[in-house]
Amino acid sequence: MPGYPDEGRRLVQSPHLRKMLDRAIKESGSFPRVFNAGAGEGGYTPMILGLPGIEMAFESDFGYQSCPPVRISPKQRFFCASLASIPMADSIADLILCTEVLEHIEDHESAIDELARVLAPGGWLLITVPTPPAPPDPNHVREGYRPEELSAMLRARGFEVQETRYCMHYFFRFELAHWWRVPLWCPRFAIRTLAILDRWIPLGPPMDLMILARLSTKTTRAAKSENRIALTAQ
């Protein structure tokens, strides 16, 4: 939406997402079935539809119950659901993009279980979450995740972490803290300018964590359950 910080978030995140996706493309070649988990207003839908070999893009968001999604391609398939219970078949997706969603889910363990279930062995997960210190957000059930914490949760489900990146620094933090004070008619250049500054001048600690992981080809559903039980017992 105009004047909303998600536009700035895309400006900051997109270069990193593209580079991480390029790495996955280099190794896998194409992604016929992609799951955009927590798609929101579809800010990253064009990026997904531009992936090589794309045949179907599944897009879900809990907000679809009050705000229907906009279709821009016949390849899109929409549904409204929580990530803790995804109405999709096992091993159906070749790639999952999950940006700024996990921190909203109370039962985040079940959500990661579900992402692992619907991803095919050898498939890719690109996930982004806040990382402390992050600005307070009443819509979050937790502040965020440290890389070692999220990596451990992924490894317990058969994922192999391939790459870790960070983004969003002082200027974006300032934007999140103050955007709601500005009238709705505020020109978009304010959001865009702060995002571009944050992209080129990364001052202070990062507030966003990005992980590219690949599901082991040897991982079975039973193995995922055993790994999770072992992690919980520690």
Instruction: Compare 225 and 91 and report the one with higher pLDDT.
Output: 91
For residues 57 and 193, give the distance between their C-alpha atoms in angstroms, rounded to a whole number. Answer: 31
pLDDT band, residue 137 (cuts 50/70/90): confident
Domains and CATH numbers, the chain: 13-168+204-228 (3.40.50.150)
Say if pTM beats, i.e. exceeds, 0.95: no
Strands 159-167 and 208-215: antiparallel
**Cis, bond preceding 133 (omega within 30 deg of 0):** yes
Among 82-86, 94-98, 112-116, 135-139, where is mean pLDDT lowest?
135-139
Question: Are the CB atoms for 24 and 34 separated by under 8 Å?
Answer: no
Task: List, for residues 206-229, the tens digit of each pLDDT value.
Answer: 999 999 999 998 865 545 455 454
Q: Residue 196: CB partners within 8 Å, gap ≥ 6? A: 11
pLDDT computed for residue 183 by the predictor: 59
